[in-house]
Amino acid sequence: MVNLKKTELLRDRCLIDGKWVAGSQNNIAVKNPATGEIVGTVPSLEAGDVEQAVVAAEVAFRSWSALAAKERAAVLLRWFYLIIENADDLAALMTAEQGKPLSEARGEMLYAASFIEWFAEEAKRVYGDIIPAPTTDKRILVFKQPIGVCAAITPWNFPAAMITRKAAPALAAGCTMVVKPAEQTPLTALALGVLAEQAGIPAGVFQIVTGKSREIGKVLTESDIVKKLSFTGSTEVGRILMAQSAPTIKKLSMELGGNAPFIVFDDADLDAAVDGAVASKYRNAGQTCVCTNRIYVQSGVYDVFAEKLAAKVSALKVGEGTQVDVTIGPLIDAEAIAKIEDHISDAIGKGAKVVVGGKRHSLGGRFFEPTVLTGATQAMKIAREETFGPVAPLFRFETEEEALAMANDTEFGLAAYFYTENIRRTWRVAEALEYGMVGHNTGQISNEVAPFGGVKQSGLGREGSRYGIDDYLEIKYLCSAIA
Ligand code: ADP
């Protein structure tokens, strides 16, 4: 186990223009959600400090974007290797501030690093086009150029991966980035900054600012220098940031809320479906935007599925993320627990039954029992809102049409899952689901080579994959007259 106080990765300052800046106030305490202990403190920067970071990013952009893609790739690869080498220490830091089990935290560090490796490779493949001109006296060329200074605002549920998924394509493309991590989990972000520095990422290219989210959000969105904002978080805050970005017509990437349906048809491999549901629902204690929120089970297998799921969920182990075998850590804060309790009591009031869990865990604090509810209906809050906790509501359906109608009956469109062994149904359902990402016979879909993103009110743009770098590039068209 690392000694968090001794590791050089633990910082109490922000990274601005290559310097570790204390700001005038260092008063944001970062607390361990499992124990309430203070893990560290970070600055509450003034608007002026953030403006300074934006200006530094503008200056750094000139030289960073002028490098050959191969040179940027080499620096990014060094960052990637340093994260891999330090994965255990980074994971310990993440578990301390975020609460997720150590094995999940380590998994996230590898996942976070994979975006840096991937986009270091993609940096070299930003191809343009030569288009046949409509007349013989012209040549038409298409260049791809970096957008410029970018800002990122990231959430607490993936303290590392939500940063690298934005910063890696941005830096690979030649952009510079100012990151504002979530106030609950800034320490992992700052640790990434330490390693970025060690990797030789120049001053001003990757900066981290902490403080009051609204104030920093205003500086970043109102700035003329910032050409693009990439946000991951709630749809509600996404809307605010879009509105604030309107006056400067900023480019936007938005990874917002989800309300993922998980459909189990009569012809599914039920054991596989149960495993998939557990993997998708209970990861990070249910606190991911692609976590299953609603489980629709066809009538013929409903009771058996409920029984098998209940058995698996009863075996999940709740506790501090540092303990061996723990699969469910604490929830991030008291509001998270309050929302889960509200969704469960609303469901019970409308006829649902608790099969497993249903209440706060005997460990107290932020711990909640992994829960399975049967008899869920579309009238319940749990059907409409993202629960963001370890609660699996089971809805019964009769026909494929009915399942699809219920699955699509939401303003969200991030991830959806379905289990069937029927090939014709597979194509029909995959095409009919109004979601940006669909898992067929799997509950795990995220990786660096695939395009992550949502439709409807779940967002704009894609992260990861060969498409992910496009979000940080502008297309320039050159028309050259040669006669
Ligand atoms: P979550 O439910 O994951 O906390 P939020 O959307 O509230 O989702 O937060 C995601 C990120 O957005 C965090 O970094 C948070 O500090 C930031 N944030 C929240 N409100 C604002 C705001 N009004 N302006 C700028 N950033 C904000």
Interval 438-478: pLDDT, tens: 999 999 999 999 999 999 999 999 999 999 999 999 999 99
Residues with a CB atom less than 6 Å from ligand 1:
153-155, 180, 182-183, 213-214, 217, 233-234, 237, 240-241
Residues 230 and 349 grouped into a single domain: no
Residues 206 and 276 grouped into a single domain: no
Residue 138 structural domain? 7-256+458-478
Give distance in angstroms: CA of 216 to centre of ligand 1. 11
Model pLDDT, residue 27: 86
Atom of ligand 1 nearest to the CA of 240: 23
| Structural domain contains residue 39 | yes
Q: Yes or no: say if 401 and 246 are a contact pair by the CB < 8 Å rule.
A: no
Q: Yes or no: say if 482 and 137 are a contact pair by the CB < 8 Å rule.
A: yes
CATH number of residue 251's parent domain: 3.40.605.10
Model pLDDT for residues 241-284, shown as the tens digit of each residue? 999 999 999 999 999 999 999 999 999 999 999 999 999 999 99
| Structural domain contains residue 340 | yes
- What tokens appear for 275 in the block? 């495993």
CATH number of residue 427's parent domain: 3.40.309.10
Cα-trace Rg, the chain: 23
Give the mean pLDDT of 367-373. Answer: 98
Q: Yes or no: say if 309 and 282 are a contact pair by the CB < 8 Å rule.
A: no
Residues 17 and 33 grouped into a single domain: yes
Three-state SS at 129? strand
Three-state SS at 350? coil
Residues classed as catalytic: 255
Closest residue by CA, ligand 1 atom 11? 155
**Percentage of the chain exceeding pLDDT 90:** 97
Mean residue pLDDT across the chain: 97
Calpha distance 171→192 (Å, rounded): 14
Give, as one character, the DSSP assignment of residue 19. Answer: E
How many residues are listed for the chain in this entry? Answer: 483
Residues 243 and 385 grouped into a single domain: no
The domain total for the chain is: 2
| Structural domain contains residue 390 | yes
- Residue 307: φ, ψ to 5°: -65, -45
Give, as one character, the DSSP assignment of residue 318. Answer: B
Interface ipTM > 0.95 = yes
Residues 266 and 355 grouped into a single domain: yes
Model pLDDT, residue 2: 60
- What tokens appear for 145 in the block? 């150029």
| Structural domain contains residue 120 | yes
Closest residue by CA, ligand 1 atom 4? 155
Task: Please say if the pLDDT value at position 6 is more than 80.
Answer: no
Residues 307 and 181 grouped into a single domain: no
- What tokens appear for 114 in the block? 């994979």
Atom of ligand 1 nearest to the CA of 244: 24
Give distance in angstroms: CA of 154 to centre of ligand 1. 7
Model pLDDT for residues 286-299, shown as the tens digit of each residue? 999 999 999 999 99
